[in-house]
Amino acid sequence: MDWETDSQGSINAGGYGLRVRTEDIAKFGQLYLQKGMWNGKQLIPADWVANATTSHVDNSPAEPKRPNAENDWAQGYGYQFWRCTHGAFRGDGAFGQFCIVLPDKDTVVAITAESFDLQGSLNLVWNHLYPALRDGVLPQDRPASSRRATQEFVLEAASYWRCARDCCSCNRKVFVLAENEFKAKSVSFKLSNNACEFTLSDEAGKQSVRCGMGKWVIEEIYTTQRLFPLPNRPKVFTPLAASAAWSDPNTLTMTWRYAATAHSDQIICKFEEGKVTISFLGSVSKGNPNTPDKRTELHGTIV
């Protein structure tokens, strides 16, 4: 767990920037479901829990896109908690991070995601999970079976065109970069039909990312957007899953997914006559065209 701080690293942001595991979000919801009680100890006064999760502020939209009775953003706001439809309340964060507490069903739903339709995400809960909740004792858990089912959930890498010319004339070449915002000096590509190793050289030395062609390669410890950071974004140590795909004979797109965050990057490399142009498309910009990626293109030439 970590919490974003000010530039001196001494004061937490408070209203945002808390990063915790999905299971820890669920535990937090369970604490409030149990009215502040945990393992037989009252950690938070029950009166506070009741007040914090009660509507104190009317947040009905002026021009709702749906009737207020069906709108989870029109049920009122408490102390850092939103009221929901179905008698529930929730904490939520950017891009669909949810801690949904359903007292009537004795249930907590924790979600980590990158969504640009938050009501749509909640509708999935109301339309599918909520009707499936039943009174009574749950059957005995089978942890091994649950683990197997979880391990089968895979986000597929992009399919790719298999380069027939030893992955084009850019293979194992060094491209010297024009002056750029990242102070990067050069890039190179070690390519095959199975893998792509991208290396950047800058003032700190050489840094590499290994991508699978049409499959994921996972680095266990990595800093999000270490090579091409977005402006004013904090560094977050996270596993990195990387894949690459040829969309045509001259365009290689690397996808870098930062597993401890909700976000990812596409690094689009276009090769032409001894030159490369590298552009960037972060997942926030990809999901919301009104938020263009602020990183400028890189231009390189083979030495």
In this predicted model, which residue has the larger pLDDT, 118 or 260? 118
151 alpha-carbon distance from chain centroid: 19
Dihedral over alpha carbons 283, 289, 295, 300 (to 10 degrees): 90
> Is the pLDDT confidence value at 153 over 90?
no
- pTM for this structure? 0.82
Distance from first CA to last CA of the chain, Å, rounded?
A: 44
User: pLDDT tens for residues 75-129?
Assistant: 999 999 999 999 999 999 888 899 999 999 999 999 999 999 999 999 999 999 9
Nearest CA-CA partner of 190 in 182, 180, 198? 198
Superfamily (CATH) of domain 2-135: DD-peptidase/beta-lactamase superfamily (3.40.710.10)
Tokens of 235: 């560094």
Architecture of domain 174-302: Beta Barrel (2.40)
> Is the pLDDT confidence value at 167 over 70?
no
> Is the pLDDT confidence value at 165 over 50?
no
Q: Give yes or no on whether 2-135 and 174-302 have one common fold.
A: no
Collect contacts of 192-195 with beta carbons under 8 A, ≥24 apart: 192/167, 193/162, 193/163, 193/167, 195/244
From the CA atom positions of the chain, what is the Rg in Å?
23
For residue 81, the SS3 value is coil
Q: Where are the domains of the chain?
A: 2-135, 174-302
Task: Count Cα atoms within 13 angstroms, Cβ side, for 125.
Answer: 23
- In this prediction, residues 6-34 reach a mean pLDDT of 88
Distance in angstroms (rounded) separating the CA atoms of residues 139 and 131: 18
Exposed, middle or buried: residue 114 (CB in 10 Å: 0-12, 13-18, 19+)? middle
CA angle 233, 236, 237 (to 5 degrees): 155
Nearest CA-CA partner of 31 in 84, 94, 71, 81? 81
Cross-strand pairs, 302: 175
